[in-house]
């Protein structure tokens, strides 16, 4: 088979596309791959929310006297976030353990919330509403307190020394 015949065979394969399929119509390509077509507003919305979160984490890091650029460095941003929460950098290794990483994130957000003077409900909200509450923390009036007190023993279920306290009898 000479080169001319091979080029003609290849051209025939390319031009014999399924009916209604053109290279300029991505919706047909997505549908043929089994993927749904995205609405036209989806990607710009995701991009805007992503930029808002990146700017918010950058501002949050600078409020905590950490480098803002760390917000855009994968993995290192979790290390810095755990440091802001008052935990060591090695604590961020627990993000690599499946299912434990959700507990780690919860503990980290709780620590970050405490360091910025927020309560446990705000920290719980940060877990589920991060794109809303991280900007509130970053651009709001909250101030970073690096020496915030440790979690209260009452939250851990213990007394002042971390032991269980007996119930008082009713008179």
Residue 158 DSSP code: -
Q: What is the pLDDT of residues 48-57, one digit of tens each?
A: 999 999 999 9
Asked whether the predicted pLDDT for residue 159 surpasses 50, the reply is no
pLDDT of residue 16: 55
Contacts of 82 (CB under 8 A, 6+ apart): 88, 89, 91, 92, 108, 111
More confident position, 140 or 16: 140
pLDDT of residue 24: 57
pLDDT of residue 59: 96
Q: What is the pLDDT of residues 114-147, one digit of tens each?
A: 999 998 899 889 989 989 999 999 999 999 998 7
Helix (H, G, I), strand (E, B) or coil at 66: coil
Q: Does residue 26 belong to any structural domain of this protein?
A: no
Tokens in use for 16?
Answer: 């014999």
Q: Does residue 132 belong to any structural domain of this protein?
A: yes
| Distance, CA of 79 to CA of 43 (rounded, Å) | 29
Q: Does residue 82 belong to any structural domain of this protein?
A: yes
E strand or H helix that includes residue 59: helix 42-63
Model confidence, pTM:
0.66
pLDDT of residue 67: 94
What residues make up the domain containing 64? 42-156
| Distance, CA of 130 to CA of 124 (rounded, Å) | 10
Q: Does residue 55 belong to any structural domain of this protein?
A: yes
Q: Domain total for the chain?
A: 1
Question: Mean pLDDT, to the nearest integer, of 5-28?
Answer: 57
| Distance, CA of 85 to CA of 141 (rounded, Å) | 18
Which of 40-49, 109-118, 146-155, 156-165 is predicted least confidently? 156-165
Asked whether the predicted pLDDT for residue 78 surpasses 70, the reply is yes
Asked whether the predicted pLDDT for residue 150 surpasses 80, the reply is no
More confident position, 41 or 158: 41
pLDDT of residue 10: 53
Q: Does residue 32 belong to any structural domain of this protein?
A: no
Q: Does residue 161 belong to any structural domain of this protein?
A: no
Most confident listed range (17-26, 101-110, 151-160): 101-110
Q: Does residue 168 belong to any structural domain of this protein?
A: no
Q: Does residue 150 belong to any structural domain of this protein?
A: yes
Residue 41 DSSP code: T
pLDDT of residue 163: 47
Q: What percentage of the chain exceeds 70 in pLDDT?
A: 66
């Amino acid at each position: 088979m000479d080169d001319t015949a091979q080029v003609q065979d290849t051209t025939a394969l390319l031009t014999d596309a399924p009916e209604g399929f053109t290279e300029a119509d991505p919706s047909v390509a997505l549908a043929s791959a089994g993927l749904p077509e995205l609405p036209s507003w989806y990607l710009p919305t995701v991009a805007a929310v992503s930029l808002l979160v990146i700017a918010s984490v950058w501002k949050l890091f600078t409020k905590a006297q950490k480098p803002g650029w760390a917000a855009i460095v994968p993995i290192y941003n979790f290390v810095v976030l755990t440091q802001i929460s008052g935990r060591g950098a090695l604590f961020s290794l627990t993000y690599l353990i499946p299912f434990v990483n959700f507990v780690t994130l919860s503990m980290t957000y709780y620590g970050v919330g405490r360091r910025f003077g927020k309560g446990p409900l705000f920290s719980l909200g940060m877990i589920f509403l991060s794109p809303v509450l991280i900007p509130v923390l970053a651009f709001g009036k909250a101030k970073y307190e690096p020496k915030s007190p440790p979690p209260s023993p009452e939250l851990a279920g213990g007394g002042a020394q971390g032991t269980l306290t007996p119930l008082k009898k009713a008179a």
